[in-house]
């Protein structure tokens, strides 16, 4: 087995890093051979990484997405689930589109499919997501800590908490080299999400029934809010750009599609358990994150604590994914720099990454509208558009059944609607936030 830069990609101007192995059969789904330099991760490694990255803030924002788009959000959520599973499966297929070779990441896939244009688009969406999502998580974590400790001796401003959380997260970023080492904290993060969902499922309806005098207004569909709702739901299924690294960490890569299906099914179940009772209980006054709508008390406090833990534990998955790519691109490895030199280079890269995230979180402290922007601009492209377009380009159109092509067309259509109109709505909302200072 050997690694080398491949011959020129589709455009001839970019090189795609690939791995070659002899006697590889893509159809040998029962194989347990450690191919293409895959890691030693188990099925649960991929499952918890997918669940921790995808669930969390999406769970918190979906009730508000229903308040924006109405009960139509149920249909959109089901469609998005199916599209996200399909997208995650074909994304990995694209990496293996040439027999005996594996593309390394999202950018290589875009390059192979559309040359330098694909590389530019994939890189822009990829890095926007890798920086936007953890920056959003920092906003949420710092805001929660600021609110939880507001009347105690630990009271600080949200900006200070952002810096403290960022500095704290440097520890796992420097210690844990690959995604396989992040699995334990990913599992804790997934459990935290489940606890928060349980609190919302129980307490939101209880609060609704305890206040019959409170008027709750819900709508079947709100067409003007459809793009914003779609972008929030797209954000809820974001994580595609970490999938190549998660799949590569598996000792048995043929387990990927099952790990993806299990992870996204778990996330979708959590979404329904939060969105439906949340919107039913608070209607068009539902807030994002949802626990801001809950009454003051132990339930709200616990949900804030566990979700703070979750998003803090999810951040290293994003930063590690980015760092692995940047370290490979700069060849900051032990073979070239030695063990100590590679660790120093890795420490510099990951420290700079965290510093950029902290700066973003400090200057854009608006959780719900920030989430809509990332969902519309990055996740609609990463989940609904780019994998499908690359898949059709790399594997052909005429060899696919009509129902699969129809599903691809619907996915692309919804992706364009969410990306264009969702981005416009999110930018308008952020401008309003900055002008009002809320």
List the chain domain ranges: 46-218+227-436
Residue 388: its pLDDT value, please? Answer: 94
pLDDT in tens, 80-135: 999 999 999 999 999 988 888 888 778 889 999 999 999 999 888 887 777 777 88
Sheet holding 2-8, edge to edge: 2-8, 15-20, 101-103
- What pLDDT shows up at residue 391? 93
Do 54 and 239 meet the contact criterion of CB atoms below 8 Å apart?
yes
Beta carbons within 8 Å of 119's beta carbon, 6+ residues apart: 9, 14, 107, 110, 111
Task: Check residue 31 and give left, alpha or beta (phi > 0: left; psi -120 to 50: alpha).
Answer: beta
Mean pLDDT (the chain) is 79
Query: What pTM does this model have?
Result: 0.75
* Sequence-ordered list of residues with C-beta below 8 angstroms from that of 210, at least 6 positions apart, any chain: none
Q: Tell me what the mean pLDDT of segment 239-258 comes to.
A: 83
What average pLDDT does range 392-407 have in this prediction?
92
- 3-class secondary-structure state, position 32: coil
Which tens digits make up the pLDDT trace of 359-369?
878 877 676 67
Asked if residue 328 has pLDDT above 80, the reply is: no
Q: Under CATH, to which class is 46-218+227-436 assigned?
A: mainly alpha
For the ranges 179-183, 240-244, 326-330, which has the lowest average pLDDT? 179-183
Distance between CA atoms of 125 and 104, rounded to whole angstroms?
Answer: 17
Confidence of residue 9 (pLDDT cuts 50, 70, 90): very low
């Amino acid at each position: 087995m050997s690694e080398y830069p491949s011959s020129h990609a589709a455009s001839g101007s970019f090189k795609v890093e690939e791995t070659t192995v002899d006697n590889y059969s893509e159809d040998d789904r029962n194989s347990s051979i450690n191919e293409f330099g895959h890691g030693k991760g188990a099925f649960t490694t991929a499952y918890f990484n997918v669940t921790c990255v995808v669930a969390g803030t999406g769970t918190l924002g979906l009730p508000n997405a229903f308040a924006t788009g109405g009960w139509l959000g149920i249909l959109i959520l089901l469609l998005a689930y199916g599209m996200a599973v399909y997208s995650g499966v074909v994304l990995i297929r694209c990496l293996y589109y040439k027999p005996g070779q594996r593309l390394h990441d999202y950018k290589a896939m875009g390059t192979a499919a559309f040359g330098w244009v694909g590389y530019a688009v994939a890189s822009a969406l990829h890095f926007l997501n890798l920086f936007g999502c953890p920056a959003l998580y920092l906003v949420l974590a710092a805001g929660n800590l600021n609110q939880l400790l507001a009347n105690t001796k630990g009271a600080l401003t949200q900006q200070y908490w952002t810096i403290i959380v960022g500095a704290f997260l440097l520890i796992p970023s420097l210690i844990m080299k690959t995604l396989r080492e992040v699995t334990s904290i990913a599992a804790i993060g997934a459990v935290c999400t489940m606890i928060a969902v349980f609190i919302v499922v129980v307490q939101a309806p209880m609060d609704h029934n305890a206040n019959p005098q409170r008027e709750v207004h819900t709508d079947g569909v709100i067409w003007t809010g459809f793009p914003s709702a779609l972008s929030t739901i797209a954000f809820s299924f974001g994580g595609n750009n970490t999938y190549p690294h998660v799949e590569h960490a598996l000792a048995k890569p043929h387990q990927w599609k099952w790990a993806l299906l299990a992870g996204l099914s778990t996330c979708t179940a959590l979404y329904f358990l939060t969105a439906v009772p949340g919107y039913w209980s608070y209607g068009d006054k539902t807030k994002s994150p949802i626990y801001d709508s809950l009454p003051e008390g132990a339930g709200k406090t616990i949900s804030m604590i566990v979700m703070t833990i979750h998003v803090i534990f999810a951040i290293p998955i994003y930063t590690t994914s980015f760092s692995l790519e940047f370290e490979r691109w700069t060849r900051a490895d032990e073979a070239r720099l030695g063990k100590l030199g590679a660790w120093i280079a890795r420490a510099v890269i990951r420290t700079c990454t965290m510093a950029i995230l902290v700066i973003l979180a400090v200057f854009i402290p608006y959780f719900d509208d920030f989430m809509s922007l990332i969902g519309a601009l990055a996740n609609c492209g990463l989940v609904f558009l780019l994998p499908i377009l690359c898949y059709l380009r790399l594997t052909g159109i005429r060899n696919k059944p009509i129902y699969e092509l129809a599903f691809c067309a619907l996915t692309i259509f919804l992706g364009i609607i969410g990306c264009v109109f969702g981005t416009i709505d999110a930018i308008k909302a952020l401008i309003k936030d900055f002008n009002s200072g809320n």
